[in-house]
Structures are given as structure tokens and as C-alpha cells.
Amino acid sequence: MEYRVTERGIEIESFAEFNLPETLDCGQCFRFSPEADGAYSGIAMSRRLRISDDGVHIVFEGVTEEEFLKVWVPYFDLDFDYGAVRCALAESDTVMRQAAAFAPGMRILRQDPWEALCSFILSQNNNIKRIKGLVSRLCEHFGEPMDGGYDFPKPEALAGLSEADLAPVRCGFRAAYVLDAARRVANGEINFEQLKFLPMEEARKMLMTIKGVGPKVAECALLYGLHRLDAFPVDVWIRRAMDKLYPNTVPEQFGEYAGIAQQYLFHYCRMNPELLKEDECKIFF
DNA sequence: GCCCAGGTATAAA
DNA sequence: TTTATACATGGG
């Protein structure tokens, strides 16, 4: 990844395979938000980041060379060729081609595994706007204060709490699930280093021993937190589309990039909800 | 009020 | 093994 050190921070040239809203506002993370000037600001990996893209340069504002290379190149997966994956997936069928073309600048972030697991436990039976609110309150109440915000709380900070303690988060029945996850991660029963390399089916099974973690949350933790691009797509919308598109097949058909395929489809469907309405019969039906 | 939201646990068929 | 329902909360 070519970059320049400037007085504003680290600059790279804008390129088609890195689009800020497509990457940071596609439902894979919940801690970034756009500002009035179009730049995105948020806290990830225990650091605040403001990042802007004027179409010529992408600027990691105030970031040092060391931090860029150590933190943000991995976080945004900048050394990986998403164009090649998009091309490969586009060959699989016409809907996948449209979905991949809809957000050509989407990348799969390498998020902190605990934050991803915990965020997607909170995500269940919820909408993205409210998920952001829950995550935000969890951080405000239990995360370390830092740089005009709060870090995502470590599992150890939550492991000793009670459901009553989590009341201000207003996450309802998910409180018990978050606590079980925090305890099991804190005491080492759930080991992310191990999950990173375990065969997919075993990794899913291990995560699903956590209360409130089913196949969907497990998939999200594996894809977004452990960068397992081969995680099975099990989102209900995607399953519905896939059952129609690919009858009598299994969702692993996208092989090592099943997770990326799922994220393209999810974003495409979420931004174009009419696609999944049977009576309007746009694409999937 | 009613419906739904990036689901899951639980019970029952 | 598959199918139905409750679950806390709040935005549309």
C-alpha cells in the first residue's frame, strides 16, 4: 500500500475498491458515523479515527506512519485485492454480479474479535439504528473514557457484572447473553486465537456454546472479528434469496469467499428492500 | 396501537 | 429434525 506522510496525517490515493460509506455503513460495524463534511469518525482498536475521502485522496487524519501501518492497514484490509474477489464472485451468477457491482468499494474490516462477537449478540432481533445505540451505551457505561468518547469495554470489565448492572444499556433479554459471552471469553473458555484456525464447522460449534449465540451471530463473529472470509452466509434475507437462487445447494458455494458474498448480498438487499418483496418480483422471485 | 428489526432458546410436533 | 412462540426495546 502506497502512502504519504503529510501535515494532515497519512494520505493514500483514492481508489475504487475503498469507499468509506460502503465499508463503514454497511452493517458490519457500529461505531463509525459520518460527519457534516462526509468524513467518518469513530473509535476502533482502542483508537479514535477520522478518515476523509475527497475523491483524490483518502486521509487518515492525524495518524502517524507507525499507527497507519500497525493499525489501520490491517483494520481496513488494505493489502488485499477486493477487485479480484469481486470479479471472481461476479462470475458465479447474475444476482451476485449485481450485488458485487452495487458496492464495489466495500471491504471486510478486521475488527476486534470480542467487539464483533458482543456487537452481533446485541444485534439479534434488532435494527441497525438501535444496535448502534446499544453499542454506544455499552461503551459509555462500561468502556474506558478516551479522546472524546469511550473505548469498547473489555470482556473482563463486563464479566463480573449482573443483568441489573446492564439495565442502562437497555438491551433487554440480550443482557444475559452479553454477560455469558464476556465471562466465557474472560476465563479463556472461548479463545479467539484458536477460533481463527479451527475448521469452520468446529469454530461455529464452539461459538454457539455461548448463550444467545446461534449460527448467525457465530458467522458474524467469525467474518468480522476473525476475518474468516469463508464464514457461511446465514442471514435470514440472504438465506431467503439463496434458497430461491440456489435450490438444493448449500451456501458454502462461494467457497473461500462465502462471507464476502454474503456481505455484498446483504448490503444490496438492505439498500434496495423492494428486491425481496415477492409481489413486486424484482430479482429474487 | 401495531409491526418489525443482520436471531435464539425453548417447547412441542 | 422441523416448526411455533416468547423475548425487551424503540422507531416508523
Cα dist from A205 to A2, A22, A198, A215, whole Å:
40, 31, 10, 8
**How many angstroms separate the CA of A141 from the C1' of C11?**
23
Nucleotides of C under 7 A from a protein CB: 7-12
Instruction: For residue A132, indicate whether it is catalytic.
Output: no
**How many angstroms separate the CA of A74 from the C1' of C6?**
41
**Per-residue pLDDT tens for A78-121?**
999 999 999 999 988 888 899 999 999 999 999 999 999 999 99
Tell me the average pLDDT of chain A: 92
Task: Indicate yes or no: strand C within 7 A of the C-beta of A127.
Answer: yes
pLDDT at residue A14 greater than cutoff 70: yes
Averaged pLDDT, A259-271: 91
**How many angstroms separate the CA of A91 from the C1' of C7?**
42
pLDDT number for residue A205: 94
Averaged pLDDT, A130-137: 98
**How many angstroms separate the CA of A190 from the C1' of B11?**
28
DSSP-based three-state secondary structure for A61: strand
> Chain centroid to CA A6: how far?
29
| Closest CA relative to residue A96, chosen from A229, A215, A257, A236 | A257
Selecting among A129, A154, A211, A216, the annotated active-site residue is A216
Task: Indicate yes or no: strand C within 7 A of the C-beta of A168.
Answer: no
| Closest CA relative to residue A41, chosen from A149, A191, A142, A120 | A149
Least confident of A172-176, A177-181, A191-195, A254-258: A254-258
| Closest CA relative to residue A278, chosen from A251, A249, A244 | A244
The single residue listed with the C-alpha cell 482502542 is A46
CA distance A104 to A14: 13
pLDDT number for residue A233: 73
pLDDT above 70 covers a percentage of chain A that reads 91
Record the cell numbers describing residue A273, joined without a space.
428492500
**How many angstroms separate the CA of A216 from the C1' of B5?**
15
Confidence of residue A193 (pLDDT cuts 50, 70, 90): very high
What residues contact residue A131 under an 8 Å CB cut-off, 6+ apart? A30, A119, A122, A123
Q: Which amino acid is at A52?
A: S
**Per-residue pLDDT tens for A233-261?**
776 666 666 666 665 554 456 788 989 99
Q: Which residue has the higher pLDDT, A191 or A275?
A: A191
pLDDT at residue A53 greater than cutoff 70: yes
> Chain centroid to CA A175: how far?
21
Protein residues contacting strand B, judged by Cβ under 7 Å: A 26-28, 123-128, 130-131, 173, 208, 210-218, 220, 233-236, 238, 262-263, 266-267, 270
Q: Which nucleotide is nearest to A127 (CA to C1')?
A: B5
Helix residue ranges per DSSP H, chain A: 20-24, 65-67, 73-75, 82-90, 94-102, 113-122, 128-142, 155-159, 174-186, 192-197, 200-207, 215-220, 236-245, 258-271
**How many angstroms separate the CA of A272 from the C1' of B3?**
20
Q: Output the pTM of the full model.
A: 0.95
Task: Indicate yes or no: strand C within 7 A of the C-beta of A172.
Answer: yes
pLDDT number for residue A267: 93
CA distance A222 to A182: 16
Averaged pLDDT, A250-273: 83
Task: Indicate yes or no: strand C within 7 A of the C-beta of A133.
Answer: yes
Nucleotides of B under 7 A from a protein CB: 4-9
Averaged pLDDT, A223-230: 96
Record the cell numbers describing residue A52, joined without a space.
476523509
pLDDT number for residue A259: 92
- Nearest protein residue by Cα to C1' of nucleotide C7: A173
> Chain centroid to CA A85: how far?
18
Record the cell numbers describing residue A136, joined without a space.
454506544
Q: Which nucleotide is nearest to A124 (CA to C1')?
A: B7
Averaged pLDDT, A151-179: 98
pLDDT number for residue A278: 63
